[in-house]
């Protein structure tokens, strides 16, 4: 057992960039607040061109030696990093919850365990197991292919599952032999900085993983404008994904874009309703609905619609919204005032359009919060019916605790309606009919279909979206394919 102990104290209350193995102060800083208290809790760099350049140069310099380090040795660092995070598990949990607004329970049972799994799963899968090609067309020649790490890659991540998503990028890049310039969301940078401290303690060679903090239009843009960045793995909104693609086009970069969603849950009348209700509840409101895979539209077959809706609303009313540090809270705070306004705007729109708000925001009072949480960005889980398919509520990503429920008659009808959005991230279907399962899995325009479940995922399966939900797939070997290039070698020996 090592004696590496992290704490929640940030020196001078300012995060520092991690460049070339050193923690370096920046020229400009911005505030970061705790969404559950609306209090500023620390400052982070808003890194400028010079700071980004230093990070890219450091990654460039480290590349040769890191790419030639044997994969098994690279993967040992991943295991060491996972062990050090595990030793400081509760610090990561506390920081993630305070920075993001999610409940401690969510951070403790979902986010940080998944960070450990990310590092460990990529460490044992190792990139050298990827398939390559061999061909012998003539007796005097052979062809084979090699996989080479791509180079300096940029990793840009969002605020909803901060370290969970960033580590799903950092782990495969390290294992694949690329070097990194990472930028977490300016809303949730704390655990990435803690990870930098872990990487330093793990002895990761300087320059292999650089983390620069800052806003998208400043720091993020400087990363995208640097010609030495050879690939970008981006997770965030579809609007920003378009900027990433546009800025990357002149450099012919490889792109992996994991973008927004407007996910449907489709419930047929033959379903096990008790199980379905509990999982639909989780899929609608996990992490305050701030998960890209959360269900936002529920379609229920007409003969079970009324009973589903009434039982669902009863369950929603039993959810506890409260301080993230209260173990009884099932939902914490939304990420910011701005995001709260956006989500609340959709509920106001529902009212204007004459929809039926069955419970939640604008319908019920928020429970009394302790003094420290009175200004936090809390919103009740909300259920809306009588929304038309062409309403913005059914078309746009809300990314909060708001779900719209609608009824349908036939399988063909519900497939057409579920597909009638610009997004295509995931869907869940609820039925015992195996033929229907196959037909719907084939016909739904999404990257992942869950059947009688939600968010159950093997890391070795491809993850990503279609349509405006993204380009490319990540997952164990899929990530390794993305972060490496296959090169053909042809040898003529006489
Ligand atoms: P966002 O697009 O605003 O920001 C994501 C990241 O991009 C942040 O680090 C941000 O600073 C950076 N960024 C913003 N503008 C930039 C620019 N001009 N240049 C470079 N970088 C820039 O997204 P968000 O609000 O942080 O996250 C929520 C979104 O992420 C939702 O749409 C959600 O669906 C999506 N998301 C998708 C997945 C997925 O796997 N498909 C997972 C999680 C979240």
- pLDDT single digits (tens) 85-99: 999 999 999 999 999
Angle between helices 190-201 and 89-100 (to 10 degrees): 160
Model confidence band, residue 493 (pLDDT cutoffs 50, 70, 90): confident
* Binding-site residues, ligand 1, Cβ < 6 A: 156-160, 165, 183, 185-186, 215-217, 220-221, 224, 235-237, 240, 243, 258-261, 292, 397, 399, 425, 465, 470
Model confidence band, residue 449 (pLDDT cutoffs 50, 70, 90): very high
Provide the 3-class DSSP secondary structure of residue 254: strand
Mean pLDDT, rounded, of the chain: 97
Q: For residue 14, what are the CA distances in angstroms to 42, 52, 193, 446, 462?
A: 6, 18, 10, 41, 38
Model confidence band, residue 1 (pLDDT cutoffs 50, 70, 90): low
d(CA 259, ligand 1 centre) in Å: 7
Taking Cα atoms as reference points, which of 94, 287, 113 lies closest to residue 194? 94
pLDDT of residue 428: 98
pLDDT of residue 137: 84
pLDDT of residue 494: 80
Counting Cα atoms < 13 Å in the Cβ hemisphere of 134 gives: 1
Does residue 378 register a pLDDT over 70?
yes
pLDDT digits (tens, 9 = 90+) for 453-485: 999 989 999 999 999 999 999 999 999 999 999
Cβ proximity of 433 and 411 under 8 Å: no
Ligand 1 atom nearest 238 alpha carbon: 32
Ligand 1 atom nearest 292 alpha carbon: 34
pLDDT digits (tens, 9 = 90+) for 110-165: 999 999 999 999 999 988 888 899 999 888 899 999 999 999 999 999 999 999 99
Please report, rounded to a whole number, the percentage of residues in the chain having pLDDT higher than 90. 96
Angle between helices 162-176 and 112-125 (to 10 degrees): 10
Q: Whose CA is nearest to atom 34 of ligand 1?
A: 260
CA distance 112 to 81: 13
Counting Cα atoms < 13 Å in the Cβ hemisphere of 181 gives: 32
Among 96, 186, 247, 258, the active-site one is: 258
pLDDT of residue 131: 86
Q: Whose CA is nearest to atom 11 of ligand 1?
A: 216
Instruction: Classify residue 491 as exposed, middle or buried by CB count within 10 Å of its CB (0-12, 13-18, 19+).
Output: exposed
Provide the 3-class DSSP secondary structure of residue 192: helix
Q: Biggest alpha carbon distance in the chain?
A: 84
d(CA 464, ligand 1 centre) in Å: 15
Model confidence band, residue 79 (pLDDT cutoffs 50, 70, 90): very high
Mean pLDDT over residues 365-392, rounded? 97
Beta-strand relationship, 423-424 and 426-430: unpaired
Domains of the chain, start order: 11-259+469-490 (3.40.605.10), 263-458 (3.40.309.10)
456 backbone dihedrals φ, ψ, rounded to 5°: -85, 125
Does residue 420 register a pLDDT over 70?
yes
Q: For residue 469, what are the CA distances in angstroms to 314, 401, 477?
A: 32, 20, 21
pLDDT of residue 352: 98
Mean pLDDT over residues 412-441, rounded? 98
CA 218 centroid distance within chain:
21
Angle between helices 112-125 and 89-100 (to 10 degrees): 120
Does residue 101 register a pLDDT over 90?
yes
Does residue 107 register a pLDDT over 70?
yes
d(CA 370, ligand 1 centre) in Å: 31
Lowest mean pLDDT among 67-81, 133-147, 276-290, 321-335: 133-147
pLDDT of residue 436: 98
User: Residue 384: enclosing H or E segment and its boundaries?
Assistant: strand 382-385
Answer yes or no: 413 catalytic: no
Lowest mean pLDDT among 350-359, 420-429, 455-464: 455-464
pLDDT of residue 2: 66
Q: For residue 207, what are the CA distances in angstroms to 25, 86, 168?
A: 16, 24, 19
Regarding pTM above 0.95, the answer is yes
């Amino acid at each position: 057992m090592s004696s590496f102990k992290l704490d929640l104290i940030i020196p001078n209350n300012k995060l520092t960039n991690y460049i070339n193995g050193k923690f370096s102060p920046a020229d400009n800083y911005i505030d970061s607040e705790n969404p559950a208290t609306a209090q500023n809790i620390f400052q982070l760099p808003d890194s400028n061109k010079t700071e980004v350049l230093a990070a890219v140069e450091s990654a460039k310099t480290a590349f040769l030696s890191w790419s030639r380090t044997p994969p098994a040795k690279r993967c040992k660092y991943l295991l060491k990093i996972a062990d050090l995070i595990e030793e400081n598990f509760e610090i990561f949990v506390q920081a993630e919850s305070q920075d993001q607004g999610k409940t401690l329970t969510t951070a403790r049972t979902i986010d940080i365990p998944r960070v450990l799994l990310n590092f460990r799963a990529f460490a044992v899968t190792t990139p050298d197991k990827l398939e390559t090609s061999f061909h012998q067309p003539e007796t005097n020649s052979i062809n084979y292919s090699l996989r080479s790490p791509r180079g300096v890659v940029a990793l840009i991540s969002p605020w909803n599952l901060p370290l969970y998503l960033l580590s799903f990028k950092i782990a495969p890049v390290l294992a694949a032999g690329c070097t990194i310039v990472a930028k977490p969301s300016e809303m949730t940078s704390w655990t990435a900085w803690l990870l930098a401290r872990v990487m330093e303690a793990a002895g990761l060679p300087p320059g292999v993983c650089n983390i620069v903090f800052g806003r998208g239009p400043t720091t993020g843009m400087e990363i995208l404008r640097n010609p030495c960045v050879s690939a970008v793995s981006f997770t965030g909104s579809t609007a920003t994904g378009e900027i990433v693609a546009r800025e990357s086009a002149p450099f012919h970069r490889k792109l992996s874009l994991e973008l927004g969603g407007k996910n449907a849950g489709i419930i047929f009348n033959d379903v096990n309703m008790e199980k379905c209700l509990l999982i639909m509840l989780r899929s609608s409101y996990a992490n305050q609905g701030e998960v890209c895979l959360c269900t936002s539209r529920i379609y229920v077959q007409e003969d079970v619609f009324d009973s589903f809706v009434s039982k669902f609303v009863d369950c929603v009313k039993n959810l506890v919204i409260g301080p993230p540090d209260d173990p009884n809270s099932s939902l914490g705070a939304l990420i910011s005032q701005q995001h709260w306004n956006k989500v609340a705007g959709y509920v106001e729109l529902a009212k204007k359009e004459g929809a039926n708000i069955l419970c939640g925001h604008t319908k019920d009072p928020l429970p009394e919060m302790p003094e420290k949480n009175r200004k936090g960005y809390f919103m009740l889980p909300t259920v809306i019916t009588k929304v038309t398919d062409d309403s913005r509520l059914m078309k746009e990503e809300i990314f909060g605790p708001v779900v719209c429920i609608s009824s349908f008659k036939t399988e063909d009808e519900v497939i057409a309606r579920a597909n009638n959005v610009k997004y295509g991230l995931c869907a869940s279907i609820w039925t015992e009919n195996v033929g229907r399962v196959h037909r719907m899995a084939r016909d739904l325009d999404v990257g992942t279909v869950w059947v009688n479940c939600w968010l159950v995922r093997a890391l070795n399966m491809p993850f990503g979206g279609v349509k405006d939900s993204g380009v490319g797939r990540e997952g164990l070997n899929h990530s390794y394919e993305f972060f490496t290039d296959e090169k053909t070698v042809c040898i003529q020996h006489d």
